Chain A
């Protein structure tokens, strides 16, 4: 099969995408496919028209690649592509939209407030920080709404940390959310499939000496200990899997995805976000989940490719 691997682009996660794509391209070649890597730029549509691939493996992360933009183009060009369709990408890329969907469906997600940069500049939103702090408590997490790899995320432990954290998050996106900080274990459940999606074994990330699983912890070998499958009780493992599948269905995902959650000290799970294009780098969680399920990387990639489709 002629497969175009879409990678790179201009998103702040460009380098992460290139690392994912290198692994994907190698796997696809081992699987016997005719592979072309395409670094996404202003000539993308022309390149795709010239290449006429049978399918596109979207190995992009962040803006442009994970937000439905590239998917829309592939729909118009009629090229089946891996992963979720346009609507699901749109709904999951913005953490605020995704959290609202989870909350509406009764899925547990930490309480939050979200503002645009304009709300701070033009409507005095900063004057509500006292109320926000009172409602969410401290510490609280400040995140850019549309950014992956934990870029721009920080934890405010003191009231005085909040402005600094907001400034940082607003550097990465023009919308930010302030979210209750849930202390606990970082659990990620990867999901594979479309008609009858299955949850892979949960993976626990244990970042060393850090507030949370940040960018360096994600991509520097040795900074995070990964446990796959995560040491959960059978009930916890069931709950995590069920939650992940419900989130996946709620957003309307296809092919594959990963749901990141926290397991708190009382045994409750809290969903933080859903990634429609999980990282496939050497230190990423989904390949570890697949391995825990007895599936090597090539098989994982083969199964994701097999579900490449249009629509949805």
Chain B
């Protein structure tokens, strides 16, 4: 009983059929094994969260708010939490009103709600290439046709975006939305310049292009001046939907994020959220709310950023030492990730097999960040969740796997 998958096959929805097994997915699951040094995760350093703060919050919730924290809550989230989230956004200069904001179950749900609210099967969505690997299954599930726009050190190539839009328009296609991570991009590790931000918002206004701005990492800045969000630059024109999360500034375990959108859009997303989960965990919301009432989260973020900056520096130094001269990589001024690109003959999925099997080290192969099969010689490396000496050892091991591959390429003469 239950072992015969065939009986369900004819019953699966088209959106579920698109999500298939792959050798790559199996390999990535293996990277979570404890014996493996994994630079594949996107994990904040949760070990730095003070246990006494947690105890205090748990006690406050138990003493003063227990019945409410255990009860259903409003779909859009606790009113005071929404107000306090607006304060969090204000730190980055983004003005939002609580009534335009909905609490979600992590930033991932905010992405899901945005895509499902706008995208029918076959609709065109524009995304950076590479894009957030976690958005790939979402876009696949809703059967979006994703057109990637290349990036460079200043983020999305807005000139190429215009070309893409022209090309689509000539073919009678109108993209439903553009999904972007302007600041400390996952996985590219780059930040969109101010000039490009302005140009992108101008294009959005001129062409009535809906921009979904995903900003989980904006406050994880190690250096340089903060840049305005697209939401701010939009100036209330209504062409930007803004997503963010507590996962990186507080902890992913609370599973809380948010979306800010023009009121008609927010109403649609609210209905979609009702269908999904009625509302996000009231317990988690109460916990975060009490935290924000009592503590300045920016101290926690500053502490985290100190750890991340050191880890980034260690990773970049290790890359200089261990990666071949032909490799290139981003030097992020914040966030969690570095994107490295190797010589074209290196297939990073094969490299991952070698790395896991023979060197007990893992990373995310670049193809996971594309929906069109590109990214084959790139990789995403996380530094936030890996202690410094493990980072050094991990990069050394990946470097060995690369050196073996380069040597084989030399032996095989690069062709017949």
Instruction: Report A's interface with B, CB cutoff 8 A.
Output: 10, 12-16, 23, 26-27, 30, 41-42, 63, 117, 120-121, 126, 149, 151-152, 158-160, 162-163, 166-168, 170-174, 215-216, 219-223, 280, 282-283, 287, 291, 297-298
- Complex contacts, B9 vs chain A, CB 8 Å: 221-222
- Complex contacts, B358 vs chain A, CB 8 Å: 174
Q: Which of A121, A216, A291 contacts B411 (CB 8 A)?
A: A121
How distant is A96 from chain B, measured CB to nearest CB, in Å? 18
B37 at the interface (CB under 8 A from A): no
How distant is A31 from chain B, measured CB to nearest CB, in Å? 12
Instruction: Report B's interface with A, CB cutoff 8 A.
Output: 1-6, 8-9, 17, 20-23, 25-27, 29-30, 33-36, 345, 347, 350-351, 353-354, 356-358, 360, 404-405, 407-409, 411-416
- Complex contacts, A16 vs chain B, CB 8 Å: 26
By beta carbon, the residue of chain A nearest B17 is A222
Contact present for A167 and B408 (CB under 8 Å): yes
Contact present for A215 and B408 (CB under 8 Å): no
Q: Which of B3, B29, B356 contacts A297 (CB 8 A)?
A: B3
A13, B29: Cα distance in complex, Å: 10
Given contacts A167-B409, A171-B351, contact A221 B23 (CB under 8 A): no
Contact present for B26 and A12 (CB under 8 Å): yes
Main secondary structure of the interface of A (DSSP, over half): helix
- Complex contacts, B354 vs chain A, CB 8 Å: 170-172
Given contacts A126-B413, A221-B6, contact A168 B30 (CB under 8 A): no
Q: Which of A23, A158, A163 contacts B3 (CB 8 A)?
A: A23
14 A–B contacts from the bound complex (CB under 8 Å): A15-B26, A23-B3, A26-B3, A41-B35, A117-B404, A120-B411, A120-B412, A121-B411, A159-B416, A168-B347, A171-B350, A171-B353, A172-B357, A221-B8
How distant is A120 from chain B, measured CB to nearest CB, in Å? 5
Q: Which of B1, B26, B350 contacts A30 (CB 8 A)?
A: B1
- Complex contacts, A13 vs chain B, CB 8 Å: 26
By beta carbon, the residue of chain B nearest A149 is B23
Contact present for A166 and B412 (CB under 8 Å): yes
Contact present for A14 and B30 (CB under 8 Å): yes
A266, B27: Cα distance in complex, Å: 39
- Complex contacts, B357 vs chain A, CB 8 Å: 12, 63, 172-173
- In the complex, besides A166-B408, A297-B1, 10 extra interface pairs with C-beta distance below 8 angstroms are A10-B35, A10-B36, A63-B357, A126-B411, A152-B353, A167-B412, A171-B350, A172-B350, A172-B357, A221-B8
- Complex contacts, A12 vs chain B, CB 8 Å: 26-27, 30, 353, 356-357
A14, B356: Cα distance in complex, Å: 12
Q: Which of B20, B360, B415 contacts A160 (CB 8 A)?
A: B415
How distant is A220 from chain B, measured CB to nearest CB, in Å? 5
- Complex contacts, B407 vs chain A, CB 8 Å: 121
A63, B1: Cα distance in complex, Å: 29
By beta carbon, the residue of chain A nearest B349 is A171
- Complex contacts, A41 vs chain B, CB 8 Å: 33-35
Contact present for A160 and B416 (CB under 8 Å): yes
Contact present for A151 and B353 (CB under 8 Å): yes
Contact present for B412 and A10 (CB under 8 Å): no
How distant is A152 from chain B, measured CB to nearest CB, in Å? 7
- Complex contacts, B2 vs chain A, CB 8 Å: 23, 26
- Complex contacts, A287 vs chain B, CB 8 Å: 3-4
Contact present for B30 and A10 (CB under 8 Å): yes
Contact present for B350 and A216 (CB under 8 Å): no
How distant is B16 from chain A, measured CB to nearest CB, in Å? 11
Contact present for A15 and B351 (CB under 8 Å): no
A149, B6: Cα distance in complex, Å: 20
How distant is A229 from chain B, measured CB to nearest CB, in Å? 16
By beta carbon, the residue of chain A nearest B32 is A14
Contact present for B350 and A168 (CB under 8 Å): yes
How distant is A132 from chain B, measured CB to nearest CB, in Å? 13
A42, B35: Cα distance in complex, Å: 9
- Complex contacts, B23 vs chain A, CB 8 Å: 149, 151, 215-216
Return the 8 tightest CB-CB contacts between A and B, nearest first.
Answer: A282-B5, A163-B412, A171-B350, A15-B26, A160-B416, A219-B21, A171-B354, A215-B23
Q: Which of A30, A170, A291 contacts B408 (CB 8 A)?
A: A170
How distant is B246 from chain A, measured CB to nearest CB, in Å? 31
- Complex contacts, B3 vs chain A, CB 8 Å: 23, 26-27, 280, 282, 287, 297
How distant is B137 from chain A, measured CB to nearest CB, in Å? 15
Contact present for A220 and B20 (CB under 8 Å): yes
Contact present for B29 and A163 (CB under 8 Å): no
- Complex contacts, B30 vs chain A, CB 8 Å: 10, 12, 14-15
A26, B1: Cα distance in complex, Å: 9
A162, B412: Cα distance in complex, Å: 9
A298, B1: Cα distance in complex, Å: 8
How distant is A14 from chain B, measured CB to nearest CB, in Å? 5
By beta carbon, the residue of chain A nearest B19 is A220
By beta carbon, the residue of chain B nearest A172 is B353
By beta carbon, the residue of chain B nearest A280 is B3
Contact present for B415 and A163 (CB under 8 Å): yes
By beta carbon, the residue of chain A nearest B28 is A15
Contact present for B353 and A167 (CB under 8 Å): no
How distant is B352 from chain A, measured CB to nearest CB, in Å? 8
Contact present for B35 and A167 (CB under 8 Å): no
How distant is B250 from chain A, measured CB to nearest CB, in Å? 31
- Complex contacts, B412 vs chain A, CB 8 Å: 120, 126, 163, 166-167
A302, B409: Cα distance in complex, Å: 49
A287, B351: Cα distance in complex, Å: 33
How distant is A109 from chain B, measured CB to nearest CB, in Å? 25
A298, B4: Cα distance in complex, Å: 12
Contact present for B33 and A10 (CB under 8 Å): yes
Given contacts A12-B356, A174-B358, A215-B23, contact A117 B408 (CB under 8 A): yes
By beta carbon, the residue of chain A nearest B404 is A117
How distant is A103 from chain B, measured CB to nearest CB, in Å? 28
